[in-house]
Structures are given as structure tokens and as C-alpha cells.
Amino acid sequence: MIKWQIRDVIYVDSMAGLDKVAVDLYFYVSYEKDGLYSSCFGNTPLDVKSLDLENFTNFDDITEEKALQWLFSSLGEDKNQIEFNLQKDIKEWGVAPRKIGLPSNW
């Protein structure tokens, strides 16, 4: 199963007379199948050149669903390529699931 997540939304305090404008998304995507795992992360800028004042979403009102829509729109066909590469990695390398975190003594 492929899972997309937004890790961070970068925003500026003010732009074009609007407050808290999202300008960049950091994402993480993972694919797990039959106990094997592949993942990648990245970021993509949002198109803020022509902000739609009537449909503007303030940073505090952004939902994960909305951010994912923006991400997929920004990525275009690259979304399909990323998903293909994750599936290809599992077929070629077969990496076991990994955990993420910091040592408890930090």
C-alpha cells in the first residue's frame, strides 16, 4: 500500500495582502507490500504567483486532505513516477520495514 503524508507546510507571514500563505510542502511517501518496504521524502513549491483571493486557504485552515491535493497537483506526473519507483525498489531490493526515531537517551 502506498501512503502519502505531509510532514511540514512552509508559509510566509504575509504575501499579496494575505496572511499566512503556504509556499512549500515537505512530504513523505512509503510503500509496503508482503513485509517489504520502500520510502522517499521531498518537497515541492506551491504556485503562489496567482493566488486566488476568493478561494484562499489560510495556513491555520489547511487540512491534510487539502495539502495532499495541492501536493499532487504540484507534482503532476512526477507523483506516478515516485510511486512506480517505490514499487520498483521493492521488486529489486526487497527492504524490510524500518522504524524511525531518536535514541531514548537523547
pLDDT digits (tens, 9 = 90+) for 36-46: 888 999 999 99
Only one residue has cell 487540512, namely 63
pLDDT at position 96: 65
Cα distance between residue 61 and residue 106, in whole Å: 34
**Residue 81's pLDDT is what?**
97
Report d(CA 60, CA 51) in Å as an integer.
Answer: 17
Backbone Cα Rg of the chain: 17
- 59: DSSP letter: G
CA distance 29 to 27: 7
Contacts of 25 (CB under 8 A, 6+ apart): 6, 8, 9, 10, 43, 44, 46, 67, 70, 71, 74
Per-residue pLDDT of 8-64, as tens digits, reads: 999 999 988 889 999 999 999 999 888 888 899 999 999 888 777 888 899 999 999
